[in-house]
């Protein structure tokens, strides 16, 4: 797992000229934080969306910690764990630009001292088995497990996650509340490219032709949001028309309430979509205000 140069125990990097302290071990991490702590968990390959999360929590905390860890337990065999982009040095430089104090970049052994097969895992429950959980059945177990570990190690007062991965954000909020973890989980607005595509580390997988086609995902959501005044069915029909008109059959396209339950007419809802562009699977979502009858979704 090549996430950057490995530092030994007791050899934490030191902050220089605004550069974050880089820590690798539990002991180094404990020594590097103080006061009110905010955590921004990432898998690296940082982009403007990640940086917006760091900027959001900077005024809230004495210590801002960004974790960089490509978590193996959320990847199934045959998924892109080995190919996932790893740009550690560039990531640290970007963290410095937005005032991050500590970069926590552990090895697998630090995060999973009992090994990947022997570790205790967090069951995401029913919400983890729909939508993304249906397509990637082990992912949310892996996500919640590593996030719970990060919460225990960093002991943050706040943690922030992007709304682009809306189901993930919803599950982490639920976990923090139900397991009484004492962390306030914040959501950061999705950051988009100029043409509307939601920023994602996996966008680097797209060819130039696929990148042009990928705007259909956000275009569909915009159409759905505009059609939502006539109810959930109208919103879904408008969004699906955009996708199928460009030859895209989504893995799912749904309207829910803000907690991923049944949508209610006259209230706020959420439209979520997952679609493959070439071999790259893109996720996006948007808030919608539902009028009329919600109908089946």
Catalytic sites, residue numbers: 50
- How many residues are given for the chain? 297
What is the C-alpha separation between 104 and 68, in angstroms, rounded? 6
3-state helix, strand, coil in the chain (%, to 5): 40, 20, 40
Q: Which residues pair with 256 in a beta bridge?
A: 270
């Amino acid at each position: 797992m090549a996430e950057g140069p490995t530092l030994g125990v007791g050899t934490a990097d030191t902050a220089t000229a605004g550069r974050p302290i880089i820590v690798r071990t539990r002991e180094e991490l404990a020594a590097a934080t103080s006061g009110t702590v905010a955590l921004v968990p990432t898998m690296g390959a940082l982009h403007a969306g990640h940086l917006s999360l760091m900027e959001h929590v900077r005024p809230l905390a004495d210590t801002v910690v960004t974790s960089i860890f490509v978590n193996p337990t959320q990847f199934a065999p045959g998924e892109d764990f080995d190919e996932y982009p790893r740009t550690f040095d560039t990531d640290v430089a970007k963290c410095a630009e937005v005032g991050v104090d500590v970069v926590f970049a552990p090895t697998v052994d630090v995060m999973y001292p009992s090994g990947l097969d022997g570790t205790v895992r967090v069951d995401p429950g029913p919400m983890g088995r729909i939508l993304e959980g249906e397509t990637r059945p082990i992912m949310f177990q892996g996500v919640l497990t590593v996030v719970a570990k990060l919460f225990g190690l960093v002991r943050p007062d706040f943690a922030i996650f992007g709304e682009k991965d809306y189901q993930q954000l919803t599950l982490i909020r639920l976990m923090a509340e139900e397991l009484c973890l004492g962390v306030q989980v914040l959501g950061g607005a999705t950051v988009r490219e100029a043409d509307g595509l939601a920023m994602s580390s996996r966008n680097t997988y797209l060819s130039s032709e696929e990148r042009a086609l990928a705007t259909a995902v956000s275009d569909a959501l915009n159409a759905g949001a505009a059609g939502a005044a006539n109810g959930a069915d109208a919103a879904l029909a408008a969004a699906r028309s955009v996708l199928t008109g460009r030859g895209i059959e989504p893995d799912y396209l749904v309207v829910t309430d803000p907690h991923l339950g049944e949508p209610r007419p006259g209230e706020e809802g959420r439209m979520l979509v997952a679609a493959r562009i070439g071999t790259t699977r893109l996720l996006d979502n948007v808030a919608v205000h539902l009028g009329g009858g919600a109908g089946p979704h």
